[in-house]
């Protein structure tokens, strides 16, 4: 039994989490059943035993770290007010770094899990670079994850309530609308969603990944886009990423008194493309916006 498998065995005994061995499925964590799947197929490629052992160890530590983020244990979700998809991405980042720390503590090189995509890594790099608060949150959560695992492996009790604290967010809040807007924006590299207050004086803008923005102390800006909206009579503009910690992480109620346009931005001008209308029965349907209305240009086309 490898060191990582020994850690998993003790972790399982301490938490009661189920470990299911498999010859075909990769080592992973199934949050629906709170089960860690352990691939125990032996390496058949001569000369690759060491590499395979390192990858297997990292996979085990990654699965364990993911299981700690289960809401029955460390409730990381209560620290973030954002769509579930983005919370899961933050959890995966925490599990990735935690697994690396656990591997390094065993004098093993840390490797990236096959479950982590290059797109996820690029997104994390951008979020960490643009959001100064994310790094401190990441450090705190990785420390909590690693310390919790080490305590459980030793058979010690963990006071999850003390670690988790009290959530300041309303977990019943739905983020369906902003999630759908993020998807709409990302369909085109130069598109954006402009959400205006009814008086038209202030606007929140979700920028697609193709529109460059700068960040200062976690506040995004695109001055050319800002100036284009100011010409349209908007007085206050705030910019957001299409998801992540710098996304427009507002619940559905935020959009009730707003007008929403999908626009294109050519670097100088904001060109309206579509106007979105809230579906009054959005809670009971798959899509939360009714059919879009095309916005006519200055020539009424």
**Of 7-11, 40-44, 219-223, minimum mean pLDDT range:** 40-44
Averaged pLDDT for residues 194-216: 91
Quick count: other Cβ atoms within 10 Å of Cβ 126? 15
**Digit-coded pLDDT (tens) for 67-118:** 998 868 998 888 888 888 899 999 999 999 999 999 999 888 888 898 999 9
Q: What is the mean pLDDT of residues 208-214?
A: 88
- For 239-284, the pLDDT digits (tens) are 999 988 889 999 998 998 899 999 999 888 999 998 988 765 444 4
**83 close to 178: Cβ distance less than 8 angstroms:** yes
How far apart are alpha carbons 20 and 7 in whole angstroms? 15
Instruction: Name the β-bridge partners of 191.
Output: 264
Q: Rounded CA gap, 157 and 1, in Å?
A: 25
Sheet strands (E) in 138-190: none
Beta bridge pairs of residue 125: none
Q: Span 166-174, mean pLDDT?
A: 66
10-32 per-position pLDDT tens digit: 999 999 999 999 989 999 999 99
Give the span between the Cα atoms of 233 and 217, in whole angstroms: 27
pLDDT per residue as tens digits for the range 144-153: 999 999 999 9
């Amino acid at each position: 039994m490898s060191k990582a498998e020994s850690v998993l065995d003790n972790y399982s005994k301490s938490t009661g989490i189920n470990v299911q061995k498999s010859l075909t499925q990769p080592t992973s964590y199934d949050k629906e059943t709170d089960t860690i799947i352990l691939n125990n197929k032996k390496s058949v490629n001569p000369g690759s035993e060491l590499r395979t052992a390192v990858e297997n160890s990292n996979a085990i530590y990654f699965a364990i770290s993911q299981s700690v983020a289960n809401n029955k244990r460390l409730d990381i979700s209560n620290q973030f007010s954002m769509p579930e998809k983005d919370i899961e991405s933050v959890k995966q980042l925490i599990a990735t770094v935690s697994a690396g720390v656990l591997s390094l503590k065993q004098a093993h090189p840390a490797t990236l899990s096959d479950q982590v995509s290059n797109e996820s890594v690029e997104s994390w790099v951008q979020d960490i670079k643009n959001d100064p608060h994310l790094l401190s949150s990441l450090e705190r959560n990785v420390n909590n994850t690693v310390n919790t695992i080490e305590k459980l492996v030793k058979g010690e009790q963990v006071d999850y309530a003390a670690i988790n604290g009290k959530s300041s967010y309303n977990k019943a809040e739905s983020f369906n609308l902003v999630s759908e807007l993020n998807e709409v924006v990302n369909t085109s590299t130069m598109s954006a969603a402009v959400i205006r207050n009814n008086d038209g004086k202030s606007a929140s803008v979700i920028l697609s990944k193709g529109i460059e923005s700068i960040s200062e102390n976690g506040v995004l800006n695109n001055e050319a886009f800002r100036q284009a909206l100011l010409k349209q009579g908007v007085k206050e503009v705030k910019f957001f990423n299409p998801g992540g910690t710098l996304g427009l992480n507002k619940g559905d109620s935020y959009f009730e008194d707003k007008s929403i346009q999908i626009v294109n931005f050519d670097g100088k001008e904001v060109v309206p493309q579509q106007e979105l209308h809230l579906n009054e029965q959005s809670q009971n349907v798959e899509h939360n916006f009714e059919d879009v209305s095309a916005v006519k240009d200055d020539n009424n086309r």
